């Protein structure tokens, strides 16, 4: 644990104002001390426990060397183990935790950029209250608690959250809801519900999550998505693949064969041995054709397409050749029915590379959550008097068809916990500042169910609370709680033997021992009914994806992520409608042309980017841009695609027309074409260049020097190294 208490804000220093004209050394020192005291009092809440001075330096501390604390960074609510490096109590760098099952020592760009989010000056610093018809004003946690108490006691409570895996948060939410009869929990994520879990429910009769072990497969087939960019387990997939590939090459064996069927270019597709660029509907047709060749009891399915039969035959032959070594992974562009088919194929192969567990974001104490559409319906029936929104930004990323933003305005009492006054907070009566992940005590599960204890690397910079703290406060009607003591009590019953020793060991290890989920052996899969096609006439199949840099928009105010070039297009500070070259020519557009994109009666104007390798007959539009309340960095950049998104799923028919406008993209690499030349796989060693004349004296080369080495055979192009630099 980091002994990083805030300085005492109660310093009483008389400022010598008459000496302003001719300051002395003593007065300058006094001014500096006063400034430090005022700064500490204004941005850090005083610790609630007793403060002791440090009699000796912490163990292993060396001047200039960072001290690392094991914690976790959350993506899609799932824990990814990190080591947070601190200098003099300040977090400065994030590294992957080598012992954590989700990160395996790796990080991605968003995890590396989390440090900049911590120091973001646009983070919310205090509670705000917005009265009906008025502007928001500064308030306090005590005022919010008093307003919370003043609600009618028999009013049902409605709580909206994104997906989360925290056992302690689930227990706190269950206790809060139990105190008000008729209360209900709802869940909303930026791209909607996970079709993989829904597919498992169709196939096995129960919601399950597939855990994929890329190090145990000889054939990996990705359908409609990028397993290396999976927000729940992408790091684990990439690490397993890279380590297994290196081991196979060292043993002079063939590494696993990668096959990708995808609409837009991806990290996995770039490394694939075989890749086909297809529309989402075409991918599903290939999948169902393969299943018809593999599963004898399958009936129905989309009518076969003769143009796709060679691909289906090739995949079927690969699956038969690799047998139990084959692994299929499906992305969000596929329907739940097709996900059910992927589960059935993996179950039929009896592959050791796939296991099924209870989803880490499923909580028995809470039951099944309602959807955002369910919440909007309840608001329309005037059944929602109190709405608590913990995290997320549904007023921004919810599909416009649902009408959530307008419905939120009709809730009498609404409160939103978030790290900034975003689009959702602006529509709520109360905004509650949320602590950064590196300022929190808490817990969360990884993709395999293992629990990580979150410990703060620094005291909260502002008067903020974590979701775990907020739920405990509301249950006890208090303005502050001791999060550390509450978390310890939540886990005391889980430890055997000496609890204090167990607690220290769990914090240091970064993973709570023996908490991985037990594998579930599902029954023989029930084969699903075929999905309906989303193709309409000459419309393009529009695919909505999370932006490769800013994600669902939560990273829009992070300048590092905005500057980060996309791995395929090298575009920065923007999103674009991606088209294949043939589709772009058919519509008479080129990169930089602004087009009007229509979905039903809704439309937006967005610039085009022609991406080689993109599927023809389809269009990809990343979300995460067009923010109006991200902060001074992210506001007004790019285009908000939520207007066009369907109420369910992430695929919908789109039509485009030219507007005559032009847009210039900021790019870090202009030339990407080989112009017919082959790639140089072997190059002759060149002699070192001659020493150029210099005005500087020669410098000795002994001692430490900065360097970076990258194993290009294991590189997937994720750009984490760019942010790390």
Residue 522 domain-assigned? no
- What pLDDT was estimated at residue 243? 92
Strand 386-390 vs strand 157-161: parallel, antiparallel, or unpaired?
A: parallel
- Quick check: 635 pLDDT over 80? yes
Domain count, the chain: 4
User: Contact at 8 Å (CB) between 638 and 628?
Assistant: no
- Quick check: 122 pLDDT over 70? yes
Rounded to an integer, what distance in angstroms lies between the CA atom of residue 166 and that of residue 457?
19
Q: Encode pLDDT of 14-58 as tens digits.
A: 333 344 445 555 654 555 555 444 444 444 454 555 444 444 455
**What token pair was written down for 422?**
């975003």
User: Which of the residue ranges 7-21, 250-264, 320-334, 502-516 would you say has the lowest mean pLDDT?
Assistant: 7-21
**What token pair was written down for 567?**
């791995």
For residues 337 and 434, state if they share a domain: no
User: Contact at 8 Å (CB) between 439 and 456?
Assistant: yes
For residues 235 and 284, state if they share a domain: yes
For residues 294 and 375, state if they share a domain: no
Region 594-612 average pLDDT: 91
Residue 561 domain-assigned? yes
pTM of the model: 0.83
Residue 295 domain-assigned? yes
For residues 344 and 375, state if they share a domain: no
- Quick check: 537 pLDDT over 60? no
Q: Encode pLDDT of 572-594 as tens digits.
A: 898 899 999 999 999 999 998 99
**What burial letters (b/e) apply to 155-185, b meaning 16+ CB within 10 Å?**
bebbbbbbbbbbbbbbbbbbebbeebeebbb
Residue 696 domain-assigned? no
User: Contact at 8 Å (CB) between 65 and 476?
Assistant: no
Q: Encode pLDDT of 405-429 as tens digits.
A: 899 989 999 999 999 999 999 999 9
- What pLDDT was estimated at residue 302? 65
90-96 β-sheet, strand order? 67-75, 78-87, 90-96
- Quick check: 201 pLDDT over 80? yes
Rounded to an integer, what distance in angstroms lies between the CA atom of residue 350 and that of residue 335?
23
**Higher per-residue pLDDT: 682 or 165:** 165
Which helix (H) or strand (E) segment is 488 a member of? helix 483-492
- What pLDDT was estimated at residue 531? 67
Torsion over CA of 352, 353, 358 and 362, rounded to 10 degrees? 180
User: Contact at 8 Å (CB) between 368 and 184?
Assistant: no
Region 620-646 average pLDDT: 90
Reference 189, options 636, 534, 551, 652; nearest CA is 551
- What pLDDT was estimated at residue 18? 41
Measured over the CA atoms of residue 576, residue 582, residue 585 and residue 590, the dihedral's sign is positive
Rounded to an integer, what distance in angstroms lies between the CA atom of residue 344 and that of residue 342?
5
For residues 183 and 263, state if they share a domain: no
- What pLDDT was estimated at residue 496? 77
Read out DSSP for 558-615? -HHHHHSPPTTT-EES---EEE-HHHHHHTT--TTEEEEEEETTEEEEEEEEE-TTPP
Torsion over CA of 292, 293, 294 and 298, rounded to 10 degrees? 20
- What pLDDT was estimated at residue 532? 64
Residue ending a domain, among 320, 354, 388, is 354
Region 488-508 average pLDDT: 87
Q: Encode pLDDT of 270-280 as tens digits.
A: 999 999 999 99
Q: What count of other Cβ atoms lies within 10 Å of the Cβ of residue 493?
A: 8
Q: Encode pLDDT of 426-463 as tens digits.
A: 999 999 999 999 999 999 999 999 999 999 988 899 99
Q: What is the DSSP letter of 547?
A: B
Q: What count of other Cβ atoms lies within 10 Å of the Cβ of residue 466?
A: 25
Region 263-267 average pLDDT: 92
User: Contact at 8 Å (CB) between 510 and 444?
Assistant: no
For residues 36 and 139, state if they share a domain: no
User: Contact at 8 Å (CB) between 650 and 604?
Assistant: no
The CATH number that applies at residue 616 is: 2.40.40.20
Residue 101 domain-assigned? no
- Quick check: 493 pLDDT over 60? yes
User: Contact at 8 Å (CB) between 556 and 625?
Assistant: yes
For residues 371 and 410, state if they share a domain: yes
Residues constituting the chain: 725
From residue 414, alpha-carbon distances to 385, 431, 508 in Å are 8, 9, 39
- What pLDDT was estimated at residue 357? 92
For residues 301 and 216, state if they share a domain: yes
Region 495-515 average pLDDT: 87
- What pLDDT was estimated at residue 48? 52
The CATH number that applies at residue 156 is: 3.40.50.740
Q: How sure is the predictor about 675, in pLDDT bands with cuts at 50, 70 and 90?
A: confident
Q: Encode pLDDT of 367-380 as tens digits.
A: 889 999 999 999 99
From residue 682, alpha-carbon distances to 200, 522, 579, 679 in Å are 46, 49, 34, 9
**What token pair was written down for 58?**
């912490």
For residues 287 and 402, state if they share a domain: no
Q: Encode pLDDT of 339-354 as tens digits.
A: 999 998 998 888 899 9
589 phi and psi, to 5 degrees?
Answer: -125, 160
- What pLDDT was estimated at residue 39? 42
User: Contact at 8 Å (CB) between 173 and 351?
Assistant: no
For residues 225 and 348, state if they share a domain: yes
- What pLDDT was estimated at residue 721? 83
Rounded to an integer, what distance in angstroms lies between the CA atom of residue 661 and that of residue 708?
43
For residues 428 and 403, state if they share a domain: yes
Residue 653 domain-assigned? yes
The CATH number that applies at residue 221 is: 3.40.228.10
Residue ending a domain, among 336, 354, 372, is 354
Measured over the CA atoms of residue 361, residue 364, residue 370 and residue 375, the dihedral's sign is negative
Q: Encode pLDDT of 271-328 as tens digits.
A: 999 999 999 989 999 998 898 888 877 766 666 678 888 999 999 999 999 999 999 9
Residue 154 domain-assigned? yes
pLDDT, averaged across the chain: 84
For residues 299 and 235, state if they share a domain: yes
Residue whose structure tokens are 């001047």: 63
Residue ending a domain, among 295, 325, 354, is 354
Q: Encode pLDDT of 146-190 as tens digits.
A: 999 888 767 899 999 999 999 999 999 999 998 888 899 999 998
Q: Which domain holds residue 162?
A: 128-192+363-439+457-485
User: Contact at 8 Å (CB) between 427 and 42?
Assistant: no
Rounded to an integer, what distance in angstroms lies between the CA atom of residue 720 and that of residue 424?
30
Residue 86 domain-assigned? no
- What pLDDT was estimated at residue 704? 72
């Amino acid at each position: 644990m980091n002994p990083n208490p805030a300085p005492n804000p109660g310093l009483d220093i008389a400022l010598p104002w008459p000496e302003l004209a001719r300051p002395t050394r003593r007065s300058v020192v006094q001014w500096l001390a006063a400034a430090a005291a005022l700064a500490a009092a204004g941005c850090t809440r005083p610790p609630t426990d007793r403060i002791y001075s440090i009699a000796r330096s912490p163990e292993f501390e060396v001047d200039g060397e960072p001290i690392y604390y094991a914690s976790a960074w959350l993506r899609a609510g799932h824990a990814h183990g990190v080591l947070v490096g601190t200098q003099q109590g300040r977090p400065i760098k994030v590294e992957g935790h080598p012992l954590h099952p989700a990160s395996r020592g790796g990080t991605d760009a968003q995890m590396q950029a989390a440090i900049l989010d911590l120091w973001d000056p646009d983070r919310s610093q205090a509670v705000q209250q917005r009265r009906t018809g008025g502007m928001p004003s500064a308030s306090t946690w005590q005022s919010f608690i008093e307003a919370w108490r003043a609600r009618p006691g028999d009013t049902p409570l409605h709580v909206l959250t994104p997906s989360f895996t925290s056992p302690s948060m689930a227990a706190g939410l269950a206790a809060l809801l139990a105190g008000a009869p008729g209360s209900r929990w709802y869940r909303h994520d930026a791209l909607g519900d996970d079709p993989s879990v829904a597919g498992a429910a169709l196939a096995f009769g129960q919601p399950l999550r597939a855990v994929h072990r890329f190090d145990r497969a000889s054939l990996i087939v990705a359908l409609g998505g990028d397993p290396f960019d999976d927000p729940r387990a992408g790091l684990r997939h990439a690490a397993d693949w890279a380590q297994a590939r290196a081991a196979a090459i060292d043993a002079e064996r063939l590494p696993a064969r990668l096959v990708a069927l995808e609409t837009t270019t991806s990290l996995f597709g770039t490394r694939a041995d075989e890749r086909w660029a297809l529309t989402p509907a075409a991918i599903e047709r290939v999948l169902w054709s393969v299943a018809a060749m593999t599963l004898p009891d399958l009936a129905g399915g989309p009518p076969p397409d003769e143009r796709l039969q060679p691909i289906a035959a090739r995949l079927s032959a690969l699956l038969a050749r690799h047998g139990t070594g084959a692994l299929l992974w499906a992305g969000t562009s596929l329907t739940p029915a097709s996900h059910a088919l992927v589960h059935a194929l993996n179950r039929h192969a009896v592959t050791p590379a796939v296991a099924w567990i209870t989803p880490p974001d499923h909580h028995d104490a809470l039951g099944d959550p309602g959807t955002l559409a369910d919440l909007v319906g309840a608001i329309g029936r005037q059944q929602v008097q109190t709405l608590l929104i913990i995290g997320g930004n549904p007023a921004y990323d919810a599909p416009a068809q649902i009408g959530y933003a307008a419905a939120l305005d009709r809730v009498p009492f609404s409160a939103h916990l978030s790290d900034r006054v975003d689009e959702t907070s602006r529509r709520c009566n109360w905004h509650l500042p949320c602590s950064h992940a590196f300022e929190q005590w808490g817990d969360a599960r990884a993709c395999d169910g293992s629990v990580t204890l979150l410990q703060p690397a620094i005291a909260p910079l502002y008067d903020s609370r974590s979701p775990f703290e907020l739920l405990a406060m509301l249950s006890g009607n208090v303005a502050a709680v001791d999060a550390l003591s509450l978390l310890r009590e939540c886990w005391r019953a889980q430890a055997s033997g000496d609890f204090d020793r167990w607690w220290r060991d769990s914090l240091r290890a970064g993973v709570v021992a023996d908490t991985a989920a037990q594998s579930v052996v599902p029954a023989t899969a029930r084969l699903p009914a075929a999905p309906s096609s989303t193709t309409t006439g000459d419309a393009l199949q529009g695919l909505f994806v999370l932006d490769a840099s800013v994600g669902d928009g939560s990273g829009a105010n992070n300048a590092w992520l905005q500057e980060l070039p996309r791995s395929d297009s090298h575009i920065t500070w923007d999103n674009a409608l991606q088209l294949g070259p043939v589709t772009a020519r058919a519509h008479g557009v080129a990169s930089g042309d602004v087009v009007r994109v229509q979905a039903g009666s809704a439309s937006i104007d967005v610039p085009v980017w022609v991406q080689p390798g993109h599927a023809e007959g389809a269009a990809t539009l990343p979300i995460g841009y067009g923010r109006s309340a991200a902060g001074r960095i992210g506001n007004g950049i790019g285009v908000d695609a939520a207007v066009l998104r369907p109420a369910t799923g992430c695929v919908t028919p789109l039509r485009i027309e030219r507007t005559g406008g032009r847009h210039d993209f900021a790019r870090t690499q202009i030339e990407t074409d080989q112009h017919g030349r082959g790639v140089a796989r072997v190059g002759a060693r060149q002699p070192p260049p001659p020493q150029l004349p210099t005005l500087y004296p020669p410098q000795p080369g002994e001692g430490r020097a900065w360097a970076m080495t990258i194993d290009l055979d294991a590189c997937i192009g994720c750009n984490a190294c760019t942010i790390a630099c």
